[in-house]
Amino acid sequence: MQDAHTPLADALREAYRRGEEDETLTPLVLTDPAGRPVGRIGRGDAVIFYNIRGEREVELTRCLTEPGFREFPVQAEMDLAFATMIEYRPGLAVRVAFPPAGMLAETLSDTISKAGLRQAKITEAEKAVHVGYFLNGKKEAPLPGEERIIVPTRKDVALFDEAPEMSSAQITRAAIEKIRDPDCRFLFVNLPNVDVVGHIENREAVLRAVACVDRCAGEIVDAARQEGVTTIVSADHGTVEKWLYPDGNVDTGHTDSPVPFILIGAGPGQTLRPDGELADVAPTVLSLLGLPIPALMTGRPLTEAAVTPARVLLLILDGWGVQEEGPGNLIAATRPARMAAFLEEWPHTTLRAAGEAVGLPPGTVGNSEAGHLHIGAGRRIYSDRVKIDRAIADGSFFRNEAFLATVRAARDRGRPLHLLGIVSFFSSHGSINHLFALMELARREGVAELFIHAMLGRRGELPESGAHYVGSIETRAREIGLGRVVSVIGRYWSMDREENWDRINRTYRMLVHGAGTPVPGTGAG
């Protein structure tokens, strides 16, 4: 299908020619013939934020809905009818269309805590939600006997290709200190560089990130060997081992590759079962610790239990997938010496970390949320995306009470309905198909005005995909006779999780005040 030419799609193409890209795109705002912004969120309007996952959606939701919000100036008493696709955080003043099934019981961390053993989780703030909330089965607070050591993420750089080493030196020092604490029986460490930097189109920065992780992993494993700590080296999903599409364009997204599983120092004669998946990690760790495997864990240990219960370190190289050497494999291009030595010396296998193995639709790539959830749960947990896709297929999506209440509030008040979220087929934060379903719901319910605010990202997308997506939304809007894309912004500004309130403020001012580069609409009114 040929890309549509609409005002915002064409403005995006012009932004690309100026050197902008989807991820960091500064706001574009549709205007009417008098130059006034079209489709701003106003008092009494209805809003549906259709993103999933949630950890990057909380801040924007708060500034639009939270009474007494103080992080930057906002318009008071907006009285918005506001719904979110899933629960981003308990207590937000919103309706939730697909509420959580609840916290998971009998996870890896639960079992260690109930046994009275001390455990520690270490990473930097960029991945804190993954090694805490998701690894623990969607529990916010640390468990009895659990310590979380979160190294601050650097805020002196705009993007991490400026500092590919991130805070890994501090993570490494904290990990070695805990390794030397004999009372800490289980230690979980996440080195985030490969995943985080791999989402940026900068080859040299990615190579530096891989080299840094390899070096830090070597230091951590050396310390563990000195203290007699059994170590598992693994990952949550792949990223830069498949950094090129077949046509040679850069793919900065996650991948469907398997991930490594290396067992270091577990004693002589250990072998690993092949054909595993991330859900097998938790029962393997429990087996090495000499703890019983809970009934809810359907994953299976990858090795025999240790004769003597061990102290265990689980070292996650975030985003480190396994793939044949080739021009798109930036891990292989780095020649990571320490990982090569681990593979030469110790038992190893690979684990499935994408698609159905981590509760996602068949053929989809993995992500950090699903990866850490399955590492900790020891069983398959079906994702929100799968539940939503099934609801669309069986029609229950169009009967969802939270959606209907929000859409009908717009209709009955005579106010616009706003849909905001990621526009992508591949993002773990949402699907354009969910947007299309909401557009259809608005049509069925007789909404008079429908405004769409698009967030763009480069992760997993071809270069300049944003213009194609915006054009496809406008095409669908013409087909159903309802809806316009009225603003576009890069996800860098709208999907933050580190309290970079200047970024969220920029998105807020776009949504509410129309701050951004004006784009004259065709007959916009």
pLDDT tens-digit profile of 315-351?
A: 999 999 999 999 999 999 999 999 999 999 999 999 9
User: Whole-angstrom Cα distance, residue 335 to residue 339?
Assistant: 9
| Secondary structure E strands in 224-347 | 230-234, 259-264, 276-277, 312-317
Residue type present at position 8: L
pLDDT tens digits along 246-288: 888 899 989 999 999 999 998 777 899 999 999 999 999 999 9
For the ranges 221-230, 355-364, 419-428, the maximum mean pLDDT occurs at 221-230
pLDDT given at position 326: 92
Residue for token pair 């010396």: 345
Contact 422, 457 (CB under 8 A): yes
Least confident of 26-35, 423-432, 511-520: 423-432
Q: Domain residue spans in the chain?
A: 1-39+449-457+478-499, 108-384
- Provide mean pLDDT across the span 82-88: 96
Residue 304 has pLDDT above 90, yes or no: no
Residue 227: per-residue pLDDT: 97
The fraction of the chain above a pLDDT of 90, given in percent, is 84
What does pLDDT average to over the chain?
94
Give me the mean pLDDT over the 390-406 stretch: 97
H or E segment and range at residue 324: none
The CATH number, out of the four listed (3.30.565.10, 3.40.720.10, 1.10.357.10, 3.30.70.120), of the domain defined by the range 108-384: 3.40.720.10
pLDDT digits (tens, 9 = 90+) for 147-184: 999 999 998 988 899 999 999 999 999 999 999 999 99
Query: According to the model, what pLDDT value does residue 461 have?
Result: 67
Q: Using the predicted structure, report yes or no on whether residue 107 has a pLDDT greater than 90.
A: yes
**Which pLDDT score, from 0 to 100, does residue 4 have?**
66
Rounded to whole angstroms, what are the CA distances from 30 to 3, 504, 513? 19, 20, 12
pTM confidence score: 0.73
Check residue 525 and give its pLDDT.
38
